[in-house]
Amino acid sequence: MNISAEIICVGTELLLGEILNSNAQYLAQQLAQLGIPHFYQTVVGDNSERLQKVLAIAAGRSNLIITTGGLGPTPDDLTTAAIADFFATPLVERPELWADIQRKFAYTGQKITENNRKQALLPEGADTLPNPVGSAPGMIWQPRPTLLILTFPGVPFELHAMWEATVPDLLRSRGWLEAIFHSRELLYFGISESALSERVNHLFNLSNPTVAPYASYGQARLRITARASTIAEALELIAPIEAEILQLTGEHCFGKDDDTLASVAGQYLRQHNQTLAVAESCTGGWLGEMLTEIPGSSDYFLGGIISYSNSVKIEQLGVSAADLAEQGAVSETVAIQMARGVKQKLQSDWGISITGIAGPDGGSETKPVGLVYIGIANPDGEVRAIKHQFSPSRGRNWVRRMSVYSALNHLRKSFVMIG
């Protein structure tokens, strides 16, 4: 049987643009990795009649329908009932589901209501798609010999957990995964997508594996995707292409796949058994936030000082009041003193500082909006500052985020230079 999948996302909030439809992106990526063709996506509001019209179209052209949203306890959560109505099948309460829902509520101390009981209803003949992290189960149902329906809640982390725990094995058991697609992403900072593409342009015409460039918020990526019977076979196809790309672009590549600049910098710190402290002005704690997003970062990240005002720079970091008056807070001298000061204050091996003009106001002819200095103090007592001029046209948060990324990248490159 030729398999084709279709995604239906249910929720009026999606149509109103109140939330980003990240579920469709996630499901599309998962289907691509499993090698299942996927040709259509639909977003429909919380309306049973319109949802059933969408189902009629999908059931006529696809044999794997995946829905997200509408599995909660409120009146507008109507996905399960609408699907059952469309196939003229009664809903049946599953005692084991109701017991599981009650158990989950009791564990968290939340009050359960009679409305939650509707989440234990599934069409007659449907199987449960377990939800290991939430209260709303999904369903696995084959209402026709050539049609399989999978339903998921709209909460992304619940969908991800349910998919990973059940769906690949389910589809494999049905013989639907004759081949898989596996990707390796190479991650870059400090080089544009166009400049990166120019270096590896000759690889874009490959058929298996394929190479494609992407850009996202100041970073660039090269995705190498191979089609094979197993992940091991795909990795064998990917390996020589990855090696060639790294030979051409390696100085700008900071990591692979799920790496981030913060996680890579943290890996270097942990490997060298060294610690880091940060002093932030214009980024207001964003550097510390990115560092602490990494599990286990307490092994190497001691903390930070948000020195937004000059008085804090002076009193907490030991920055010279005379230098602040003469050269201003956004200067090479102040960035150096901030990095040295936080390193000494928190007794860390490394100190990083960020001081700049994020905008939209506050710039001048000599110090325009987007001017940022990043200071780095290393374990040997050497301190330097790097000047950056980020484009203010993308807004204040662009300048702030690029400052944080650049600071992490400078730290990473410092370790690379050490060897």
Whether residues 270 and 387 share a domain: the answer is: yes
pLDDT at 338 over 80: yes
- Residue numbers of the domain that contains 326: 261-418
Whether residues 115 and 239 share a domain: the answer is: no
Whether residues 162 and 26 share a domain: the answer is: yes
pLDDT for res 40: 97
pLDDT for res 6: 98
pLDDT for res 215: 86
User: Would you say how long the chain is, in residues?
Assistant: 419
pLDDT at 418 over 80: no
pLDDT at 285 over 90: yes
pLDDT for res 33: 84
pLDDT for res 1: 63
pLDDT for res 106: 80
Whether residues 338 and 194 share a domain: the answer is: no
At 176, is the pLDDT very low, low, confident or very high (cuts 50, 70, 90)? confident
Q: Which two tokens stand for residue 413?
A: 């490159």
At 178, is the pLDDT very low, low, confident or very high (cuts 50, 70, 90)? confident
Whether residues 101 and 139 share a domain: the answer is: yes
List, edge to edge, every strand of the sheet that includes 127-129: 38-44, 5-10, 64-68, 147-152, 138-144, 127-129
pLDDT for res 89: 97
Yes or no: say if 245 and 224 are a contact pair by the CB < 8 Å rule.
Answer: yes
pLDDT at 7 over 80: yes
Cα–Cα nearest to 346, from 266, 277, 407: 277
pLDDT of 229-264, one tens digit each? 888 999 999 999 999 999 999 889 999 999 999 999
Whether residues 144 and 198 share a domain: the answer is: no
Q: Name the domain boundary from 195, 222, 256.
A: 256
What 308-314 contacts at long range (C-beta under 8 Å, 24+ apart), as own/partner pairs, is: 308/281, 308/284, 313/281, 313/337, 313/338
Kindly report the average pLDDT of the chain as a whole number: 94
At 297, is the pLDDT very low, low, confident or very high (cuts 50, 70, 90)? very high
Whether residues 134 and 238 share a domain: the answer is: no
- How much is the average pLDDT of 264-275? 97
Yes or no: say if 123 and 84 are a contact pair by the CB < 8 Å rule.
Answer: yes
Q: Name the domain boundary from 222, 256, 290.
A: 256
- How much is the average pLDDT of 62-87? 93
C-alpha of 413 from chain center: 23
At 419, is the pLDDT very low, low, confident or very high (cuts 50, 70, 90)? low
pLDDT for res 134: 84
pLDDT at 97 over 90: no
Whether residues 215 and 279 share a domain: the answer is: no
Return the CATH number at 131.
3.40.980.10
Return the CATH number at 273.
3.90.950.20
pLDDT for res 364: 93
**125-129, 225-229, 255-259, 285-289: segment of lowest average pLDDT:** 225-229
pLDDT of 32-44, one tens digit each? 888 898 999 999 9
Return the CATH number at 243.
3.30.70.2860
Whether residues 319 and 379 share a domain: the answer is: yes
Whether residues 404 and 306 share a domain: the answer is: yes
Roughly what angle, to the nearest 10 degrees, separates helices 48-61 and 79-86?
60
Q: Name the domain boundary from 120, 144, 173.
A: 173
Number of domains the chain contains = 3
pLDDT for res 116: 82
pLDDT for res 92: 95
Whether residues 396 and 284 share a domain: the answer is: yes
Whether residues 279 and 388 share a domain: the answer is: yes
Any residues with CB less than 8 A from the CB of 187 and at least 6 apart, and which?
219, 220, 221, 253, 254, 255, 256, 257, 259
